[in-house]
Each structure stands twice: as C-alpha cells, then as structure tokens.
C-alpha cells in the first residue's frame, strides 16, 4: 500500500491512503482550491448542498421546487403553517373541526323506525339531525314521535313516563294548533303525517342533547332534550309547519346513548318509513 504524505508547514502531516482492496479509481480534485470547508466556529462541514438546479439544503432549510413520494414522516406540522387551498384529495373522515358528520343515508325503503344507537356521548355534547321521511302505508296518517334510548350498542327505547313535550304548528289558512303533554312515555314531534310520496311526508331539523356520565346536572331541566323544526303534509295533504320541544324530565339521572324517530298513536308504535334521507352530525364538547 502506498500513501501520499503532506507535511504541515510547522508540524504534523496528512496522509492520503487507499483502502486495502481499492480497485482502480481516480480522485479528481476541485479547481477552486477548497476541498473541506469549516464554519466560523471552526467546525468542519458543508454549509450548503446544491443538487441539480432545483434543490438546495443549508442554513437550516431545504428548498425545492416540488416534493414527491411518501410523506408518512411529515408529522407535527403546526396547523398554522398549513395554509393554502386544497383543491382535491384533502379530507378527514367525518370532516374537520367541532361539527362532525357521523352518518348519512338516503333510500326508498327504510322499512322501520329511524334509530341511532351507541352514540359517542363522551366526545359529542350534542347531535344535529337533518332528515326527511315518508311514513309507509301502515303508518300513513299517524303521529310522529321520538324516544331516547339507553344501552349503547344493544340499545332499547326509554319508555318511562318522563317525557314532557310540546309541538306547535301553523296550517293553512292562518290556523295554529298547540299540543303539549307532561310525563308521557314518548315525545311528540309533530301531528299526523301523510304517507303519499308525491305530496306528503315530513322534513325536519332536530338538535339533540343526551345526558352523559360526568354531567353535574342530569335531572329535571338538565335531562336529555330534543328540539327543532318540522315541516310536513298530513294525510290529506294539508300543510303544517312548526316547532317541537321534548325534555326528558326525570328526578333521577338517566344517561341516554341514542334516540329513535317513529310513527304511532298514544305511544304505540306502528309501521315505519319508506322514503328517507338523513345526515347526523355530532357537536364536540
């Protein structure tokens, strides 16, 4: 093995030596007189790298005209630094922010009552349901009701006599009607709804707040509640538009995990819905 030894002007030396099995290679020295640089503190290193014409690395940053490949390791990016407009492919399941879409569906044969169970009440303080349903032929002309449910995934109607409710609606021409009850086994959403697809059915928006563990006020006025707006045509196509308020008024705490919209009379359930569309959102908190 041979070496080239360069002696310092005052002391010491630097050797250039090949590896033992070095092959046949040529080291071409740069023509600017610099082989190794160092910074102001004397640390040896390269202060910047330029790759091709589009990429530079140095001064604590990388500059490039475009990036490709997996970005799996690009984590902990401050949200404030993510700016711009996403035109495609930028989405999060359920959406962003505190108003999160939980489910949606549309069809022509719902077949039964509209039930939502096992809602994540620990994450969501309230729920908002946008819906339109058409009673099936069995339920044509019956009343629309709501019941809260308990039991999580194996949910069951809460039929206890703690529902205080009222709905108020206007009808043609300039008519009004109010129905109010206390301590019933169900909540009244609205009056009789017709089941002809072309001209009847009901549409509504409901805000639903379910009691949950950890709340300090889950009885009386702090009970689960549903309120909203419902527009409909009854069984003879008469128009009605109104509001509804349902409060689960119990002196003991009941934490609900779901709710059901159904048709019936006197609290007895009948039939179901044919045409339907709905979207259920959760409000975090």
Partner 1 sequence: MGRHYLINGEKVPFTAEQETARDASEVAAAADLAAHKYKNDRIAGTATTTGYPNLKEQLDQLYRDINAGKFGSDAKTGEWFVGISSVKTAFPKPS
If the CB atoms of residues 121 and 218 are measured against partner 1, the closer one turns out to be 121
Binding of partner 1 at residue 247 (CB under 8 A)?
A: no
Q: How far is the CB of 55 from partner 1 (least distance, A)?
A: 49
Q: From CA 111, how far away is CA 57, in angstroms rounded?
A: 63
Question: Which of residues 155, 184, 204, 242 is near partner 1 by CB under 8 A?
Answer: 155
Binding of partner 1 at residue 141 (CB under 8 A)?
A: yes
Question: Which of residues 55, 254, 270, 279 is near partner 1 by CB under 8 A?
Answer: 270
Binding of partner 1 at residue 236 (CB under 8 A)?
A: yes
If the CB atoms of residues 37 and 118 are measured against partner 1, the closer one turns out to be 118
If the CB atoms of residues 222 and 264 are measured against partner 1, the closer one turns out to be 264
Using CB under 8 A as the binding criterion, the count of chain residues that bind partner 1 stands at 37
Q: From CA 195, how far away is CA 133, in angstroms rounded?
A: 9
Stretch near partner 1 under the rule CB under 8 A, chosen from 27-35, 111-119, 122-130, 180-188: 111-119
If the CB atoms of residues 152 and 220 are measured against partner 1, the closer one turns out to be 152
Binding of partner 1 at residue 220 (CB under 8 A)?
A: no
Window 156-195: residues binding partner 1 (CB under 8 A): 171, 173-177, 191-192
Peptide bond into 173 cis (omega under 30): yes
Question: Which of residues 95, 112, 152, 220 is near partner 1 by CB under 8 A?
Answer: 112
Binding of partner 1 at residue 115 (CB under 8 A)?
A: yes
Question: Which of residues 164, 232, 234, 244 is near partner 1 by CB under 8 A?
Answer: 234
Interface map 34-53 toward partner 1 (x if CB under 8 A): --------------------
Binding of partner 1 at residue 118 (CB under 8 A)?
A: yes
Question: Which of residues 124, 127, 142, 281 is near partner 1 by CB under 8 A?
Answer: 142
Window 66-105: residues binding partner 1 (CB under 8 A): 103, 105
Q: From CA 111, how far away is CA 247, in angstroms rounded?
A: 27
Stretch near partner 1 under the rule CB under 8 A, chosen from 9-17, 18-26, 197-205, 237-245: 237-245
DSSP class per residue in the chain: ---EEEE-SSS-EEEE---TT--S--PPPPSSS-SS-B-TT--BS-SEEEETTTEEEETTEEE-S---S--TT-----GGG--S---SS---TT-STTEEEEEEEEES---S-EEE-S--TTTEEEEEEEEEEEE-TTTTT-EEEEEEEESGGG-EE--SS-EEEEEEEEETTTEEEEEEEEEESSEEEES-----TTT-EEEEEEEEE---TT-S--SGGGS-EEEEEEEEE-TT--EEEEEEEEEE--SS-----EEEEEEEETTEE---EEEEEEEEEEEE-
* Closest by Cα among 243, 285, 247 to 127: 285
Residues of the shown chain interacting with partner 1 in the complex, contacts defined by CB under 8 A: 103, 105, 110-118, 138, 141-143, 155, 171, 173-177, 191-192, 234, 236-238, 240, 264-266, 268-272
């Amino acid at each position: 093995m041979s070496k080239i030894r360069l002696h310092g002007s005052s002391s010491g030396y630097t050797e250039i030596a090949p590896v033992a099995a070095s092959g046949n290679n040529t080291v071409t020295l740069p023509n600017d007189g610099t082989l190794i640089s160092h910074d102001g503190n004397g640390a040896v290193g390269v202060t910047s790298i330029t790759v091709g014409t589009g990429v530079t690395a140095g001064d604590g940053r990388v500059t490039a005209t475009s990036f490709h490949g997996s970005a799996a390791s690009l984590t902990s990016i401050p949200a404030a630094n993510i700016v711009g407009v996403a035109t495609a492919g930028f989405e999060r399941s359920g959406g962003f922010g505190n108003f999160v879409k939980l489910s949606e569906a549309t069809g022509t044969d719902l077949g039964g009552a509209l039930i939502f169970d096992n809602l994540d009440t620990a994450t969501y303080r309230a729920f908002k349901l946008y819906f339109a349903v058409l009673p099936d032929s069995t339920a044509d002309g019956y009343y629309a009701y709501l019941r809260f449910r308990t039991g999580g995934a194996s949910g069951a109607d809460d039929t206890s006599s703690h529902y205080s409710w009222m709905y108020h609606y206007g009808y043609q021409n300039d008519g009004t009607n109010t129905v109010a009850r206390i301590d019933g086994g169900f909540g009244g959403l609205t009056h009789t709804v017709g089941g002809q697809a072309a001209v009847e059915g009901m549409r509504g928006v409901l805000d639903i707040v379910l009691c949950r563990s950890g709340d300090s006020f889950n009885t009386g006025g702090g009970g689960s509640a549903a309120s909203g707006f419902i527009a409909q045509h009854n069984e003879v196509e008469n128009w009605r538009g109104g509001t509804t308020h349902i409060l689960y008024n119990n002196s003991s705490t009941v934490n609900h995990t779901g709710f059901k919209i159904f048709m019936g009379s006197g609290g007895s359930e009948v039939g179901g819905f044919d045409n339907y569309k709905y979207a259920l959102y959760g409000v975090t908190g």
